[in-house]
Amino acid sequence: MNLPGEPPLALPTADDVDAAAQRLEGVALRTPLLASPVLDALTGGRVLLKAETLQRTGSFKFRGAYNKISTIPVERRRGGVVAFSSGNHAQGVAAAAKLLDMPAVIVMPRDAPRPKRERTAALGAEVVLYDREREDREAIARGIAESRGAVLVPPYDDPMIIAGQGTAGREIVEDLAAAGLKPDVVIVTASGGGLAAGIALAVKARHPDARLYTAEPEGFDDHARSFRSGRRETNAAMSGTICDALMSPSPGLITFEINRRLIGEGLTASDEEVARAVAFAFRELKLVVEPGGAVGLAALLAGKLDVTGKTVVVVLSGGNVDPELFHKLVA
* The amino acid at 206: R
Is the predicted pLDDT of residue 87 greater than 90, yes or no?
Answer: no
Q: What angle do CA 83, 313, 176 make, to 5 degrees?
A: 105
Angle, helices 14-24 vs 61-69, to 10°: value is 90
Segment 29-40 shows an average pLDDT of: 97
pLDDT of 116 reads 85
Measuring CA to CA, which residue among 112, 80, 263 is closest to residue 188? 263
What confidence category does residue 3 fall into, taking pLDDT thresholds of 50, 70 and 90? very low
Q: Can you tell me the distance from the alpha carbon of 166 to that of 164, in angstroms, rounded to the nearest whole number?
A: 5
62-152: CATH topology is Rossmann fold (3.40.50)
Confirm if 192 and 156 have CB atoms less than 8 A apart.
Answer: yes
* Cβ–Cβ < 8 Å for 314, 297: yes
**Helix (H/G/I), strand (E/B), else coil: 199:** helix
- Span 113-168, pLDDT tens digits: 888 889 999 999 999 999 988 899 999 999 999 999 999 999 999 999 999 999 99
Q: Following CA atoms 269, 296, 159, 97 in sequence, which dihedral angle do they give, to the nearest 10 degrees?
A: 100
**Helix (H) or strand (E) segment spanning residue 117:** helix 114-122
Q: Average pLDDT of the chain?
A: 95
Start-to-end CA distance of the chain, whole Å, equals 46
Q: Where are the domains of the chain?
A: 14-59+158-330, 62-152
- Quick check: 214 and 188 in contact, CB under 8 A? yes
What is the rounded CA–CA span in Å between residue 307 and residue 303? 9
Burial bucket for residue 15 (CB in 10 Å: 0-12, 13-18, 19+): exposed
Predicted pLDDT at 86: 79
Residues 187-219: tens digit of each pLDDT:
999 999 999 999 999 999 999 999 999 999 999
Q: Is the dihedral of CA 152, 67, 50, 309 positive or negative?
A: positive
Supply the pLDDT for residue 207: 98
pLDDT of residue 1: 52
Domains 14-59+158-330 and 62-152 share a fold: yes
DSSP 49: E
pLDDT in tens, 275-289: 999 999 999 999 999
Q: Are 104 and 126 in contact (CB under 8 A)?
A: yes
Calculate Rg over the CA atoms of the chain.
18
Which residues have CB under 8 Å from 61's CB, separation 6+?
85, 88, 89, 91, 92, 93, 155, 165, 318
Share of the chain above pLDDT 70, in %: 98
In this predicted model, what pLDDT tens digit does every residue of 5-27 receive, in sequence order?
A: 556 788 999 999 999 999 999 99
Taking Cα atoms as reference points, which of 158, 185, 154, 152 lies closest to residue 258? Answer: 158
CATH code linked to domain 14-59+158-330: 3.40.50.1100
Q: Are 93 and 107 in contact (CB under 8 A)?
A: no
CA distances from 157 to 127, 198, 278, 296, 299 (A): 22, 11, 28, 21, 25
